[in-house]
Amino acid sequence: MSALHERLLAGFGSAFGGNPDFVVRAPGRVNLIGEHTDYNDGFALPVAIGVETRIAVRPRPDRLVRSVALDFDGEVDGFWIETPIRRAEGAGWRDYVRGSVDVLARRGFGHTGVDMAIAGDIPKGTGLSSSASLEVAVCHAMLAAAGHDDVPATEIALMAQEAENDFVGMRCGNLDQIASAATQAGAALLIDCRSLLLEAVTVPDGTAVMIVQSGVVRGLVEGHYNRRRAQCEEAAAALGVKALRDVDLAGLEDGRACMPEETFRRARHIVTENARTLDAAGALRAGDLASLGRLMAESHVSMRDDFGITVEHTDRLSAILAKAIGERGGARQTGGGFGGAVVAVMPVEIVERVREAVLNGYRTPDGGSPLIMIEQASAGAGLLTEAR
């Protein structure tokens, strides 16, 4: 049994006594390409990773929800399922739980109270979607407790996104929640964020996904994020389309004079990133890591020069990775931006050499060595059928 699982069961026992009836899990994600495209109705290509949030659950005979957060010094929360559910004092993890339960309750799901212990091993604040995985895990916990085992993964993801948008107040797109809810083991997920059509794109055998933390903590991200989102909406309105998904590069160039130059550059990132993401899915399908790597490099440059969301440290880290990997894959900053992590794809046999190059060539802002994770594409959220 993993250390995480042992900690979870022990934490459940000391908080509530006895054992949970079941355990659910929801993974973190890393996005290979397709950044900030989700709220523009575009395309993204994430993989779920091996770190995750787990919740040990025991349904209650009433409508009380009690939870203990083992990663936050055993902090507890308790509230009744009623509409509307109020925000918690001090916000934080409690609002992800309350928000998810609130959405479920409003949809007529999740009317059964639960005792639940929550623990995970996703490094917090590093852009690997620990909050989306918490929301998705809570949805699974509540649905399973109420006996709903037939709710599609995309519907669960959209409820989790709604919790984040409307309850927590972060205007994210649907990428993180869909990645956590709907991925399949061994595959990246090509998401059409408008139609919600999903395609599992097999990651070729022998391919490693490396995640390197730049050590730059993403500061004031929500303000920057919402501003980028507003600029994309402004560009779409100037072009007379519903979303930037609906224009190509020629159409965007035609409308250049209708918007401020910075807005044009933001929009150009989205338009070119959508095209790159579809091409990247094609490259992955064909097992062509060299082409995938070129597209990842172009994506990084576009995020740096047009969208303005990279920082000096992630630029440097991506360059070190790209040089070490050469034609055998690629690297780019991943996630919301302004620091966080760089993702790289490469054959397993060069992982150690690339790791050495990073450890020798890169220092975090405080002078330390970066956290490096080697991942394979894992399965999306669900009930844990055996104790792992």
Q: Which residues bind ligand GAF (CB under 6 A)?
A: 31, 35-36, 38-39, 172-173, 175-176, 335-336
279, with CB counted inside 10 A (0-12, 13-18, 19+), is: middle
What is the Cα–Cα distance from 141 to 154, expressed in whole angstroms?
16
What is the Cα–Cα distance from 270 to 220, expressed in whole angstroms?
22
Question: For ligand GAF, which residue has the nearest CB?
Answer: 172
Identify residue 114 by its one-letter amino acid code.
V
What is the Cα–Cα distance from 70 to 119, expressed in whole angstroms?
5
Length of the chain, in residues: 388
User: What secondary structure letter does DSSP report for 90?
Assistant: T
- Residue 158 CB, shortest distance to ligand GAF, in Å, is 12
- Residue 207 CB, shortest distance to ligand GAF, in Å, is 22
What is the Cα–Cα distance from 24 to 10, expressed in whole angstroms?
16
Of 83, 86, 106, nearest in space to 97 by CA: 86
What is the Cα–Cα distance from 191 to 31, expressed in whole angstroms?
11
368, with CB counted inside 10 A (0-12, 13-18, 19+), is: exposed
Question: Which CB atom, from 26 or from 172, has the smaller least distance to ligand GAF?
Answer: 172
CA distances 234 to 40, 174, 251, 267, Å, are 11, 20, 15, 9
- Residue 73 CB, shortest distance to ligand GAF, in Å, is 26
Strand 114-120 relative to strand 46-59, pairing = antiparallel
Identify residue 74 by its one-letter amino acid code.
G
- Residue 206 CB, shortest distance to ligand GAF, in Å, is 27
Of 199, 203, 210, nearest in space to 186 by CA: 203
Question: Which CB atom, from 173 or from 330, has the smaller least distance to ligand GAF?
Answer: 173
Q: Any catalytic annotation for residue 176?
A: yes
What the block records as the tokens of 294 is: 């070129």
Q: DSSP letters of 311-359?
A: -HHHHHHHHHHHHHHGGG-EEEEESS-SSSEEEEEEEGGGHHHHHHHHH
How would you classify residue 266: left for phi > 0, otherwise alpha for psi between -120 and 50, otherwise beta? alpha
- Residue 25 CB, shortest distance to ligand GAF, in Å, is 20
What the block records as the tokens of 234 is: 């402004």
What is the Cα–Cα distance from 257 to 363, expressed in whole angstroms?
42
For residue 110, what are the contacts with CB-CB under 8 A and spacing of at least 6? 81, 101, 104, 139, 142, 143, 145, 146, 148
- Residue 124 CB, shortest distance to ligand GAF, in Å, is 14
Catalytic-role residue among 38, 95, 102, 176 = 176
Residues identified as active-site: 176
